Chain A
Amino acid sequence: MAPTLTVAPVPTVKAHKGATAVVTFKAVLPPGYHANSNTPTDAYLIPLTLKWTGGPLQADGITYPKPSQEKYSFSEKPLSVVTGEFSISTKFKVPADAPTGASAQNGTLRYQACNDRMCFAPKTVPVSLSLDIE
């Protein structure tokens, strides 16, 4: 059974025009599974990747979780991975001409998970933030 990465809902983000906002969301992988970090140890490995694809805010930097170096039965060297619950933060710029009121910022989180003996196809899960722009 392929593991599902769960993204926890984020409370509505209050953002002020012309300012910046840092938004953090949590994601959880089931026990026994890992996903490559955003900086995997081999070029062939698929990195954890957050992309903001639509919405009034401008992403101005993403902070990925600090990876752990884990050794698995299939790897000669430790791999740079994330496991369990982890957080990803994004710094957004709020344009001065952003629309006032409620809106949404949408993105995707791509990951590729394995356990100690097998790997699962890369998956992309949607990430959505509710915004209240003042």
Chain B
Amino acid sequence: MAIAGVAAILGLIACSPSRPVRQGSLVKEDSQRKHAPDFALKDANGKLVHLADYKGKVVVLDFWATWCGPCVVEIPWFTEFQRKYKDRGFEVVGVSMDDEGWKAITPFVERRKINYRVLLGDDKTGDQYGGLEALPTTFLIDRSGRIASVHVGLSGKKEFEDAIEELLEAPAGPAGDTSVSANGADAHRGTGAHS
């Protein structure tokens, strides 16, 4: 009975007009993705950076802080992903939520040899992305600028990498909804889980 139910659900998924995601994938189906809010934040050189600058690329948008231990665990992964996937249309963008600003961020970036762009976040951007009550909060954004998954808390390296590979292999989809829910874009919380 249960197997028949699961089979029926899988059948429905298979018949869905949306491009199916990989089995066991943490990436949302096309139809479930919402547009990532654009932002204008400065990098260490004072250059204003918009999310729209990354149009056509798969983006890992990582909200973090120097005082956040779980964030620090993920940084070497993102550095590796940046090196490994950059040539395939991929970028990591780190948004630091440090109140002390570049005084805290710059030496940290140098010490950790971070090879991707880091921006200084603000409350407005945090609110746009659901409030960011906990860090790290990481958004995987597809080539069409839509949020494909949200990771709140320390996540798994393989989970990130599988999702990135899947997004890199997929063609750009249709434009999505232009809003993000106020609770962090339907993120799963507390277990480093995803949505």
Chain-A contact segment, one of B36-44, B49-57, B60-68, B170-178? B60-68
Query: What residues on A are CB-neighbors of B192 within 8 Å?
Result: 117-118
Q: Verify if B48 is at the interface (C-beta below 8 Å from A).
A: no
Closest to B98 in A: A44
Closest to B111 in A: A44
The answer, among A2, A74, A118, for a CB contact under 8 Å with B72, is A74
Chain-A contact segment, one of B1-9, B16-24, B129-137, B141-149? B129-137
Q: Verify if B94 is at the interface (C-beta below 8 Å from A).
A: no
The answer, among A2, A114, A121, A122, for a CB contact under 8 Å with B69, is A114
Given A117-B153, A117-B192, check contact A74 B70 (CB 8 Å).
yes
Q: Verify if A10 is at the interface (C-beta below 8 Å from B).
A: no
Question: Distance (Å) between the CB of A49 and the closest chain B CB?
Answer: 13
Counting residue pairs across A and B whose Cβ atoms lie within 8 Å, the total is 58
In the bound complex, CA of A79 to CA of B65 (Å): 17
In the bound complex, CA of A74 to CA of B67 (Å): 12
Query: Size range of the interface on A?
Result: 10 to 19
Query: What residues on A are CB-neighbors of B153 within 8 Å?
Result: 117-118
Closest to A76 in B: B73
In the bound complex, CA of A122 to CA of B65 (Å): 11
In the bound complex, CA of A124 to CA of B190 (Å): 23
Most A Cβ at <10 Å: residue of B65, B67, B108, B135: B67
The chain B residues found within 8 Å of chain A, CB to CB, are: 65-73, 97, 99, 104, 108, 133-136, 152-154, 189-192
Q: List 7 A-B contacts (CB under 8 A).
A: A1-B133, A74-B69, A114-B70, A118-B136, A118-B190, A119-B70, A119-B71
